Amino acid sequence: MRSTLYKMKAVLALLALLCGLGLTPAAAQQTVADFYRGKTVDFIIGYPPGAGYDLYGRVLAQFIGRHIPGSPNVVVKNMPGAASLTGLRFIAQQAPKDGLTIGIFNPTLVNLSVLEPKQVELDFASLTWLGNMSTDTKVCFSWRSTGVLTADDIRAKSLIIGGTSQGAGFAYGSIMKAIFGDHLKVVLGYPSNSDVWLALERGEAEGNCTGWGVIPAMRPEWVTNNKVSVFVQFAKKPSPLLPNVPLIYDLGISEEMKAAIAFLTLSDSFTRPVIAPPGLPADRAKALKEAFDKTMKDPDFLEQAKKSNLEIDPMDGESLANLVQEIRKTPKSAVELAKKLSQ
Q: What is the pLDDT along the chain (343 residues), one digit of tens a residue?
A: 445 544 444 544 544 444 444 444 444 468 999 999 999 999 999 999 988 899 999 999 999 999 999 999 999 999 999 889 999 999 999 999 999 999 999 998 998 898 888 889 999 999 999 999 998 888 999 999 999 999 999 999 999 999 887 666 677 888 888 889 999 999 988 888 889 999 999 999 999 998 898 898 889 999 999 999 999 998 888 888 899 999 999 988 888 788 878 887 788 889 999 999 999 999 999 999 999 999 999 999 999 999 998 989 999 999 999 999 988 888 888 788 777 766 6
Which residues, other chains included, contact 265 with Cβ-Cβ below 8 Å and sequence gap of 6+?
138, 172, 234, 235, 248
List of residues 6+ apart from 96 with CB closer than 8 A: 277
The C-alpha R_g of the chain, in whole angstroms, comes to: 24
Structure pTM? 0.76
Q: What is the pLDDT of residue 29?
A: 65
Asked whether the beta carbons of 45 and 53 are under 8 A apart, the reply is: yes
Distances (CA, A) of 277 to 103, 139, 146: 9, 31, 45
Distance CA 212, CA 292 (A): 24
> Does residue 159 sit in helix, strand or coil?
strand
Q: How many beta carbons lie within 10 A of that of residue 220, not counting itself?
A: 11
pLDDT of residue 12: 46
- CA 154 from chain centre, in angstroms, equals 30
**Per-residue model confidence (pLDDT) at position 5:** 45
In terms of phi and psi (left: phi > 0; alpha: psi -120 to 50; beta: otherwise), the region of 63 is: alpha
Are 324 and 129 within 8 A, CB to CB? Answer: yes
Give the whole-angstrom CA distance, residue 89 versus residue 135: 23
Helix (DSSP H) and strand (DSSP E) numbers for the chain: 17, 11
Query: Cα separation of 167 and 85, whole Å?
Result: 10
Residues 6+ apart with CB under 8 A from 125: 321, 324, 325, 328
Which residue, among 275, 268, 272, has the nearest Cα to 44 in the 3D structure? 275
Which residue, among 46, 45, 37, has the nearest Cα to 62 in the 3D structure? 45
What pLDDT is attached to residue 46?
Answer: 95
* Count of Cβ atoms closer than 10 Å to residue 313 Cβ: 15
